[in-house]
Structure 1
Amino acid sequence: MPSSVDDNRNRAVRDGSQSNDSVRDASTSGHIQDAERNDGKNANHRVGLRERIKHLTWAWFTCTMSTGGLAIVLAETPHRFEGLYTIGVIIFIFNVVLFLLLSSLMATRMIIEPQHFFKAFWHHPESFFFASFWLSIAVLIGNMQEYGVTLGGHQRTWLISTIRVLYWMYAGVSLANSIQQYWMFIHRRPAKPALMTPAWFLPGYSAMLTGTIASMIASSQPPANRMSIIVSGCAYQGFGWLISCVFIAIYVIHLMENGLPNPDLRPAMFIPVGSAAFTIIALIGQAKAIPRDYGYFASHPTAADTLQTMALFVGIFLWIFAFWLFSIALLAVLGGTLRMGFTLSWWAFVFPNVGFTVATIELGKELESEGILWVGTAMTICVVLIWLICAVACVKAVVTKRIMWPGRDEDKDM
């Protein structure tokens, strides 16, 4: 008799559990269907130009970072053909127009939606992308140097002086930006901890690129100005590299504990690659630009050769680390390719790998290795192809309402 009672009780519990599971499954299914219906309504209801401009986020400037970076890698590629300079100039001019267009649209966003615009500076997913605006300016300065002085052969005093003034202005603004962005994030009192994302690197990047720009412009500056640019560039590059080291450690731990991000966001995993790559470029370029007969180096004649050797071997030391980060990101992307939809994080396919490509080319030049230089040329071709893919996908995403649409951009939680 007790056994029969227990059986009946167990059957009732089991039936009740199955009933609850059915209700839960039906509820979940209903929520999914509701979400799909709402998403369909959201995609089909009329949204005007004003509403779309409202959702033009700071992440759009990753596009100008990458387009300007493409012009730089074309300027640096070792195996050249007639007309490549002209192609680079066209891309440079196109990037200037694109930057002005995005800046105008961002100003329009501020005017028509001021509350939404200013809230973006405190909103975690979007706020860190503000640094991409300053990084775009750094790239424009680098393009001015490459196509106006280095390749253009225009040793006009006014242009060299203009680039120097822009460098110092950028140095001040980029450091202030990196301080205030990290301070705002540290100072806030969040309801819940924010998940680590590669966008955390960008404010530090904006200061770190000061060192990279210094390495590009220093050799064309007068010795008196060159020394201050090299010293400041070294300091800024060290700051950016150490900030990146902190975040690389945090990010690797985050990946080990939580696994890979959503496939749509995996292209952003290439961002840490640039931290090591741009440091290689900065160290080698600054060492090569040292004025041997001026100031400290005039009284220490062997110092320049020593620093150039150190820069080369530290660069080799860092390259393999950049390759490791690149490989992790590449495997993650390949594993989610079939499930990957376009987001603005796709532009991370380009900009960090511009740095990786130029760093490889610089090492090849210093080691006088034709093999490494051909690897750099092959990487250049890959960067060009991936930029074309990203550009087409970006335009298509705007047309098909995947981005710049309510609830689908970095500001969707605001």
Structure 2
Amino acid sequence: MSGLDRRTSNSSQTSNSPLLPRSNADGTHGWRDVLENKMTWAWYASIMSSGGVALILYSIPYGFRGLWILGGIIYIASLVGFVLLLATHIVRFLLNPRLIRASAAHPSEGLFVSTFAAALGILIIDGATYAEKMHTAHGTALRASFWIFLVVSVIFSVGSPLALFSGAPHAEQEATPLATQTVLPLTLVGCVAATVAAHISIHNHHIAMPIIYMGIAVQGMGILVSLLSLSSFVDRLYHCSVPSISQRPSMYVAVGPPAFSALSFALLAEQCLRHFPAEKTAPGGANEIVGGVALYYILLTFSLMFWGLSLWFFLISTCSTLAVLGQMGIGVQKLQLFALIFPNVGFALATIHLSRLFGHPKVLAIISEVLSLTVVGAWAIVVLATCYGVLSGRIFRTV
């Protein structure tokens, strides 16, 4: 066997095996085995998807009165779930510190490490959004949460790819965009920045502007790095065809980075107009287009461009999935399906907010409504199936 074949075989074996397999004497599915090999980073995908659904229920164009209460319940449940998962992972890594490095470098679990930071970002947005509804928003805490999330997102979005880059050579796999998940938190920084800036008074624009500037910078970092992975994904589609039937839904992951960038730039455009008004006495005698007005149209243009890109990936993914829908045998009791719902959450939210910026044109409002209801329905199905899988124990045999 050649060196290349040997590396490919070893990598394939590693990607399909538990992180730290236990001996038969320890039992195949004891609590230690479940904690070490089943309570993976992928569980945070359920938190970020649920938090995103809470935002959809808050923003949906034609929602009934009091719908935000249901969204608030989902947000609180997501927050509690996040705390419980965090406690579980602390115990997991305390019992076996080797799992920190092993999980980050694992070809499968390593792709989900950054979902922790993404879940944190979504919960910050949820907290600010629903706190405003209950008139309990705290400006200082929100500003601190932004800077904390900024640091956490950069650490995870640099450390996670670096761990995968530094690991053993990986086997050639199907054309999927799952690698973009490693930098997913960066594509949420703009959303968090705009949400926090919305809770800062216009009289304190000197406090808001650094947040907006860093939001734009890191958001740009996230989408540009994601585009590198997405271009590789499209190239492999041309050369290797679409993924296998069971992996076909994973194509929806490509929708996420441009969708959340469209949402981020749309929200940031509003805040630039609010915190950076036009100046009549601009240097050089420039007219009133200087300032927030210019930034508003620039960011709105970026938002439309990335929304169009996310629409293309959404249509490609949908058509490819529908073409084999009758042949698909993929089970819904898989945590990875939450990661497939989350990108569509971003696409739905971006459509909703762009519709609002353009005055709720009928066609766009209806499209965003149908898309939102579809995403919420799919999320509900996966949640129910996951709950059944946990209660029956089946999910711990498939995670």
- TM-score, length-scaled by structure 2: 0.83
Aligned to 1:366: 357
Question: Secondary structure of 2:94's partner?
Answer: helix
Q: In structure 2, what is the Cα distance between the partners aligned to 1:111 and 1:242?
A: 36
Aligned to 2:380: 388
Q: 2:184 aligns with which of 186, 205, 228?
A: 205
* Alpha-carbon distance, 1:122 to partner: 1.3
The CA deviation string for residues 11-59 of structure 1, in whole angstroms up to 9 with x for no partner, is xxxxxxxxxxxxxxxxxxxxxxxxxxxxxxx9xx862333222221101
Aligned to 1:223: 205
* Alpha-carbon distance, 1:330 to partner: 1.5
Q: In structure 1, what is the Cα distance between the partners aligned to 2:279 and 2:73?
A: 40
Deviates more, 1:159-168 or 1:208-217: 208-217
- Does the Cα contact within 8 Å between 1:291 and 1:297 map onto a contact in 2? no
* Alpha-carbon distance, 1:268 to partner: 2.4
Question: Secondary structure of 1:190's partner?
Answer: coil
Aligned to 1:30: none
Aligned to 1:139: 122
Q: In structure 2, what is the Cα distance between the partners aligned to 1:48 and 1:293?
A: 56
- Does the Cα contact within 8 Å between 1:264 and 1:341 map onto a contact in 2? no
Q: In structure 1, what is the Cα distance between the partners aligned to 2:243 and 2:389?
A: 21
Q: In structure 2, what is the Cα distance between the partners aligned to 1:136 and 1:209?
A: 10
* Alpha-carbon distance, 1:298 to partner: 7.7
Among the aligned pairs, what percent are the same residue?
A: 27
Q: 1:326 aligns with which of 314, 336, 351?
A: 314
* Alpha-carbon distance, 1:89 to partner: 1.0
Change (3 A) 1:147 1:124: same
Deviates more, 1:185-194 or 1:367-376: 185-194
Aligned to 1:4: none
Q: In structure 2, what is the Cα distance between the partners aligned to 1:131 and 1:112?
A: 22
- The amino acid across from 2:265 in the alignment is L
Q: In structure 1, what is the Cα distance between the partners aligned to 2:309 and 2:87?
A: 39
Change (3 A) 1:392 1:191: closer
- Does the Cα contact within 8 Å between 2:183 and 2:225 map onto a contact in 1? yes
Aligned to 1:341: 331
Correspondence list, 1:170-181, <5 A = 170-181=149-160
- Does the Cα contact within 8 Å between 2:51 and 2:75 map onto a contact in 1? yes
Q: In structure 2, what is the Cα distance between the partners aligned to 1:209 and 1:321?
A: 17
Q: In structure 1, what is the Cα distance between the partners aligned to 2:380 and 2:342?
A: 13
Q: In structure 2, what is the Cα distance between the partners aligned to 1:293 and 1:174?
A: 25
- The amino acid across from 2:163 in the alignment is M
Question: Secondary structure of 1:224's partner?
Answer: helix
Stretches of structure 2 that go unaligned for 5 or more consecutive residues are 1-23, 283-287
* Alpha-carbon distance, 1:257 to partner: 2.4
Is 1:185 the equivalent of 2:164?
Answer: yes
Is 1:152 the equivalent of 2:152?
Answer: no
- Does the Cα contact within 8 Å between 2:194 and 2:212 map onto a contact in 1? yes
- Does the Cα contact within 8 Å between 2:176 and 2:243 map onto a contact in 1? no
Q: In structure 2, what is the Cα distance between the partners aligned to 1:219 and 1:118?
A: 38
Aligned to 1:266: 248
Deviates more, 1:220-229 or 1:139-148: 220-229
* Alpha-carbon distance, 1:399 to partner: 4.5
Q: In structure 1, what is the Cα distance between the partners aligned to 2:124 and 2:100?
A: 27
Q: In structure 2, what is the Cα distance between the partners aligned to 1:293 and 1:192?
A: 50
Q: Between the two structures, name the one with larger relative contact order (CA 8 Å, sep ≥ 6).
A: 1
Aligned to 1:18: none
Question: Secondary structure of 2:255's partner?
Answer: helix
Correspondence list, 1:290-329, <5 A = 290=272, 300=282, 301-303=288-290, 304-329=292-317
Q: 1:378 aligns with which of 366, 370, 380?
A: 370
Q: 1:129 aligns with which of 112, 117, 131?
A: 112
Q: In structure 2, what is the Cα distance between the partners aligned to 1:400 and 1:385?
A: 23
Change (3 A) 1:246 1:85: same
Deviates more, 1:64-73 or 1:47-56: 47-56
Greater Rg over alpha carbons, structure: 1
Q: 1:356 aligns with which of 344, 347, 350?
A: 347
Q: 2:40 aligns with which of 57, 74, 77?
A: 57
- Does the Cα contact within 8 Å between 1:128 and 1:199 map onto a contact in 2? yes
* Alpha-carbon distance, 1:225 to partner: 1.5
Change (3 A) 1:267 1:289: same
- Does the Cα contact within 8 Å between 1:64 and 1:136 map onto a contact in 2? yes
Change (3 A) 1:161 1:124: same
Is 1:235 the equivalent of 2:226?
Answer: no
- Does the Cα contact within 8 Å between 1:110 and 1:118 map onto a contact in 2? no
Aligned to 1:107: 90
- Does the Cα contact within 8 Å between 2:107 and 2:170 map onto a contact in 1? no
- Does the Cα contact within 8 Å between 1:223 and 1:291 map onto a contact in 2? no
Task: Tell me how large the CA RMSD over aligned residues is.
Answer: 2.4
Question: Secondary structure of 1:121's partner?
Answer: helix
* Alpha-carbon distance, 1:128 to partner: 2.2
The CA deviation string for residues 64-108 of structure 1, in whole angstroms up to 9 with x for no partner, is 010000011111112232211211111110101111122222223
